[in-house]
Amino acid sequence: MRRRSILSLDSERVRVTVRVRPPTKDEETKEDGLPFIFLDTEKNSVILRRKGSFADFKEFKFDAVLPETAPQVDVYNAAAQTVVQDVLDGYNGTIMAYGQTGAGKTFTLSDIVTDELVGTTVEGIIPRSAADIFLKAETDKDHEYHVSMSYIQIYMEMIQDLLRPENSNLNIRETENGEVYVAGVEEIQVKSVQDVMKLLMIGDQNRNFAFTKLNAHSSRSHTIGMITVEKKALQPPGLRKALTERNRRGSNLTMPEKVLVGKLFLVDLAGSERLKRSGSEGIRATEAMSVNMSLTTLGKCISARADPMVTHVPFRDSKLTRLLQESLGGNAKTSLIVNVAPCGEFLQETFSSLQFGSRAMKVSTRAIVNIEEEFRVITKNLQQALEIQDKRLHSLEAAVLSKEEQLEAARLSLELQTREVEKLRKEQKLRDEQVSLSKKFLEQLKDRDKDWQNRLELLKMAAKDHLIEKVHDQKEEAAVKIQRAYKKYYLNHLQEEKRKVEVVAGSQLMVNSAAKVFKSLAAVDDYFTKKT
């Protein structure tokens, strides 16, 4: 693909529009009754009065000044409409909102409020720009349009794709032609305003917001929405028919087509804030310092571009200024919207914002019409082949992923079952060991029980024998004692009878009686002797 550019005849400069938001109820009660800011919408000037002074005034002139009552459509017509038309003609355009926290930047760019009773909508610059682009695409019968969108944020010097938030810390690259782009950012085709707003809402859900004393929904990052418009001229029917006929004959004649490529950059800058006033602490303070540093670098680049004597512009000191390099005096038509608050409490912030806008008006740009040449037939065939291959690859990838998921699930299930079986085996082994130990212990108990039973029997037998022997000894001793007692008794009796016999008779008869008695005594003695 070859690419060439056409320079615009005259150099331009950054257009600056000032918009003052309405005061809040709290701000109205805090004011001392003396206004500090005066707007002259006819002369497009802003006069700022120093607080507490009636003589110290500072006047700023801009391309457009919009009062508090200005509707969104007036803001779009004054600051954005011409840039959008230039993008449709193949130029790069930038619409950038600048101002302090809570000044109305996000409201100016992307607000959508639907009134169900009246049936009307109040829309910001982004939806109105998308509506003009698609209206032109529908009504232009001589051209074919292809519109795509990407959405990023710069948070603490890291670039994140808001449509694919997993793509974070993206890198900035530069083409051979010196064009700066973000590598790896997702670019999605859009076909309606609803598609653009849907992507915008998806991105805002991934955007970093936080509560501060200055704004309950304060953005903590810079966001850049990029809408790319490709515009191709349709071939006249006669030429298309002739080319078709020649191709049918085998000449393979193709005509290169010119494609205008315009890019619209919609930049919502995070608001500058003073830490004491916003009450930011911890991570919020770190975020605020990062935002202030990038805005300071942006101011330095604006000042360097506004001064023709300065040769070095520190674009590379910040990722924000690196991405906006073409918008700040390069290949782009740039419109800056300075949002200010009409409250004397923020006098210093308002003064700084107006100074920034005044310096930006001195930055000159030289926009280029971007023209790409391509061979439609080859591209169309290649595109169709690539789409078919992509579908096949997606189906194959889905099938492979499904199989891999199934295999992974089966592997995990097998590992789990293997662990369970191993666990059961260990438990069974432990139970078997416990049973074996229990059996051995029971056998030992049985052996000990038998041993004790044998010992008990022996003790019983020994006790019985000892008792019998003792009883027998006692019986023998008693028999001896009885025998001795009887013997003593009979001997005494016999001695008494003998004395009687000797005394009374002294005769033979007594002798014979005594002999019988002695005989009886001998028999008795013999009886007891045998008995024992």
Report pLDDT digits (tens) over 485-520: 767 776 777 777 667 656 655 555 555 666 676 677
pLDDT(210) > 50? no
What's the pLDDT at 5?
Answer: 45
For 1, 57, 266, 383, 390, the CA distances from 378, given in Å and listed in that order, are 11, 65, 34, 8, 18
Whose structure tokens read 């992509």? 390
E-state strands within 348-387: 364-365, 368-375
The set of residues, in sequence order, having a beta carbon less than 8 Å from that of 35 and lying 6+ positions away, is 49, 342
For residues 194-213, average pLDDT: 77
Asked if residue 343 lies in contact with residue 29, where contact means CB atoms within 8 angstroms, the answer is: no
The answer to whether the beta carbons of residues 50 and 62 sit under 8 Å apart is no
Structure tokens at 261: 């490529």
d(CA 390, CA 393): 5
Per residue in 244-254, pLDDT (tens digit) is 555 555 544 45
Q: Evaluate whether 332 touches 93 at the Cβ level (below 8 Å).
A: yes
Tell me the β-bridge partners of 152. 161, 224
In this predicted structure, the answer to whether residue 44 has a pLDDT above a threshold of 90 is: yes
* Composition of the chain by helix, strand, coil, percent to 5: 50, 25, 25
Please determine, for residue 26, whether its predicted confidence score (pLDDT) is greater than 70: yes
Question: Distances in Å between the alpha carbon of 519 and those of 334, 431, 485, 487?
Answer: 172, 91, 19, 14
Task: Give the span between the Cα atoms of 521 and 277, in whole angstroms.
Answer: 149
CB 14 within 8 A of CB 356: no
Higher confidence at residue 227 or residue 461?
A: 227
Mean pLDDT of the chain: 80
| pLDDT of residue 211 exceeding 50 | no
pLDDT in tens, 264-287: 999 999 877 665 565 556 676 777
Measured between alpha carbons, how far is 195 from 495 in angstroms, rounded to an integer?
158
Beta strand residue intervals within 21-166, DSSP E: 37-40, 45-49, 57-61, 64-66, 93-99, 112-115, 120-123, 143-155, 158-161
Position 357 confidence tier, pLDDT thresholds 50, 70, 90: very high
Closest CA to 108 of 361, 295, 323, 335: 335
- Identify any residues that bridge with 52 across adjacent strands, giving them in sequence order: none
DSSP 3-state of 416: helix
Q: 371 - beta bridge partners?
A: 4, 260
Query: What is the predicted pLDDT for the residue at 390?
Result: 76
CB atoms within 10 A of CB 149: 23
User: Taking a C-beta distance cutoff of 8 angstroms, is the pair 223, 268 a contact?
Assistant: yes
Give the Cα separation of 318 and 320 in Å (integer). 5
| 3-state secondary structure at position 206 | coil
Give the single-character DSSP code of 271.
P
Residue-wise pLDDT for 295-320, tens only, equals 899 999 999 988 888 889 999 999 99
In this structure, what token pair is assigned to residue 135? Answer: 């209206």
Average pLDDT over residues 160-180: 87
Percentage of the chain modeled with pLDDT above 70: 76
Element (H, E) at 169: strand 168-170
Given a cut of 60, is residue 431 above it in pLDDT? yes
Of 112-126, 218-232, 467-481, which has the strongest mean pLDDT? 218-232
More confident residue, 83 or 495: 83
**Are 151 and 167 in contact, with CB atoms under 8 Å apart?**
no
Q: What fold is seen in the domain 5-402? A: Kinesin (3.40.850)
Q: Of residues 131 and 531, which shows the higher confidence score?
A: 131
DSSP labels, 303-355: HHHH-TT-----GGG-HHHHHTTTTTTSSSEEEEEEEE---GGGHHHHHHHHH
116: pLDDT strictly greater than 80 = no
Report which of residues 487 and 202 the model is more confident about: 202
Q: Residue 66 forms beta bridges with which residues?
A: 19
Instruction: Please tell me the total number of residues recorded for the chain in this structure.
Output: 532
- Token digits of residue 382: 């290649």
Average pLDDT over residues 150-156: 92
Q: Quick one: pLDDT at residue 513?
A: 65
Lowest mean pLDDT of 297-306, 350-359, 432-441, name the range.
432-441
Q: How far apart are CA 223 and CA 97, in angstroms?
A: 10
Residue 505 is predicted with a pLDDT of 55
Instruction: Please give the residue that has the higher pLDDT: either 411 or 376.
Output: 411
3-class SS of residue 82 = helix
Q: What is the pLDDT of residues 364-409, one digit of tens each?
A: 988 888 887 655 434 644 665 676 777 778 778 778 888 888 888 8
Quick one: pLDDT at residue 512? 64
Positive or negative, the Cα torsion across 468, 474, 478, 481?
A: positive
Q: Token digits for 347? A: 């006098």
Place of tokens 């008695």: 517
Residues facing 120 on adjacent strands = 115
Q: What is the pLDDT of residue 121?
A: 64
pTM of the complete model beyond 0.75: no
Burial of 414 (0-12, 13-18, 19+ CB in 10 A): exposed
| Whole-number pLDDT of residue 359 | 93
pLDDT at residue number 215: 45
Q: Is the pLDDT of residue 152 over 90?
A: yes
The band of 94, judged by pLDDT with boundaries at 50, 70 and 90, is: very high
Under 8 Å CB-to-CB from 143, ≥6 apart: which residues? 231, 232, 233, 234
